[in-house]
Structure 1
Amino acid sequence: MPQFDETELTEAVVASFDETPDPRLKHLMRELVRSLHDYVRRTGLTFEEWQKAIDFLTRTGQKCSPSRQEFILLSDVLGVSMLVDAVNHRERDGATQTTVLGPFYVGEHKPMPNGTDISEGVEGERMYVQCHVVDLGGQPLAGVPVDVWHADDDGFYDSQKPSYAEAGPSLRAQFVTDAEGRFAFRTILPCSYPIPIDGPVGELVLAAHRHPMRPAHVHFLVNAPGFEPLITHVFIEGDKYLESDVVFGVKDDLISSVELRNDAVMPDGRDAPGPWHLMTYEFRLKPGRGAAPRPMMAAAAG
C-alpha cells in the first residue's frame, strides 16, 4: 500500500487527474493541487488553522443566497477578481481600462432617452454626466447601448433594498449614443461606501485591520458590435479611498475630474436645481468580439 511523504503525496494527487478528458480542466486541477500543497508546506499549516479555514469557507457558503454572493466578495477583497480581469485584458492598445463588473448589475437596463434624470425621487447632490464613445482612432461610435448604474447617497444600490421588487429600478438605465457617439444623463453624485461586513469576509477584513470602503464611482457597460464589451467604473477625483479601494479596482485612467458648477442651466439647456456637478468621460473601445456579461447574484463589492 502506498505511503506518501509530503512531496510524493503532491505528485500522486496531480497524477490522479491524468485521465481527465477535458485538457483545460486537467491543467487547472493539476496546477491548483500544486499551489495548495505548496501553500501548506511553506506555511507549516497546523490542524487548528486548517479547521478554522474549513469553518470560514463553510460559513462563507452558508452566507450566500439568491441576493448575496459571499464568495464573490471574498474574491474581491483578496484581489482575485481584479487579477482575473487584468489577465484577461493584458493588451489595451490605448483602449479604456477595464475593472470588475460588481454584483449589482441586473442585466440589460431599461432604455431611456439621452438627458433623462435617473435619480427622480432620490436625495443627493445633483450631477450631470456627459460621455463620448469612440474607437481607438477617435472616431465616434453611434447607436451604441451603454448601461449605467451606481449607488445612492447612502451607499446602497437599488437592488439591495427590500423595496426593489415593488419600486423598480433607480439610478440605473441604458442609453444609446447619438450620431456623434455621445450620451448624457442626470443623476446624483455617488458617495464612497462600505462592502457588506456582516459575514465571514467582513470578519476577515476587520481582523486584518483593513477598512471596508470603496471610493465613489459610476458603473458603465459599453457594448458596441465589432468591439470588445467594455466593463468599467468611472471614479471621482479626490475621493479619500482612491488609494485604498478594498477591492483594488481603481486605475488612474478611470478617474474623472468632477467639477462643481453653479450655472443656472445644465448642458442639456434645462434649468439646474441649484449647484450641481459635471462628470465627463470618453470611452475608447478596442476592436474585437465578446458577449456582454450575465448578471451575478447581488452582494459583493458593487
Structure 2
Amino acid sequence: MKFIEPQVEWWQQTTLAQHIARVGRICYKAKGKQPEEGMTEEEVKTFIQKRDEERCKGFWESGHRSMFRHGTVYFFMPNERGLPNHIWAYLEASPYINYATKNHKVWFSTNTQFALEHEDIMNALSQYGVSEDEFIEKALKYECEEAFSIIRMTLVVTTQISTSRELNRTSPNSIAEQSTRYCNLEKKGGVQIARPHWHVEGSRWQRMVYGLVCRVCEWGYNRLLKSGLKPQDARGVLPLDTYTVVAYTYTLSDWSHILDLRFHGKTGTPHPNAKMIGEKIRNIIIERMRQYCDEFDI
C-alpha cells in the first residue's frame, strides 16, 4: 500500500476522438494500444487518431455513450435570425445545449452525445461550427462575457473515493470514474490511498492506526482476489480513502455552482478533502481564464 497526493489536471480537447477515448480509458485504468517504436511523428499521429476513433465507435455501439458527454462542440452565429422558431423553442427547453447572446449574435456549446443524438438540431447549426479558440476569439471581439460562462472544461481529479462521491452529488452527470468493479487494483499498481487532509499533521498514533487499518484492508482485498472472488465483490473491503480518478466536463457556469458548494461553502462547511480539491479546480480555471479576462473569478 502506498499514499498518493490528491491532484487535479485540466485535459484540453485536441480532437474529439482522442479526447473522448482518453477520458473513457479512465474507467478501466487503461492506456490503449501504443504506437510501435520507429514510427515517424506523422505515423504516430495517424495511429493514435485511428486507435481512438475505433475506441469511440466501440463506446457508441456498446451503449457506453456517456463518454461522449466529455467531447465539446462550439458554434458561433453572427445573427440569431439564422434559426427557425421551432429550433429556438427546442434550444430554450433543452438542458444539454447552452447559449449566450449579445447584439443578435449567438454563441453555443454542447456535448458530443447530444450532438450525435439530435441530428436535426446539429444540421441547423453545422454551418456555424467553430473551434474553441475561434469561439473565445469571437467572445473577446464582441465583448460577450456571458459566452465565457458556457466554455466547457474537462478537469480530471485524483482523490479519495469518499471525496469523489461529494463531487458527484453536486455534478450535472458528465462523469467518467475509475471503476473498482472492472479494475483489479492488485494488477494495476496495488491499493493506493489518496492522502487525507489531516494525515501530515496527525499524531503519530493516529497515523499508525490509520496505516495499519489500510494495510489490513489491502491484505484482505488481495486475499479475496486470490481466492477467486471478482474485483466487483472484493472491493467491499476497500477503505473510503482508496484513490480514484474522475473526469468531469462542465461549463464554467456549472463549475461555479460546484465550487459554491464544495469550496466556498455557501450551503454549509465543505469537507476539508473536498475543499482542497475545490481550491485546485478553482486555481486551474482562474489561471486559464485570466488570459482573457484580467478580473475573472469563480
Query: What's the TM-score bracket when you normalise by the shorter of the two chains?
Result: under 0.3
TM-score by length of 2: 0.20
TM-score by length of 1: 0.20
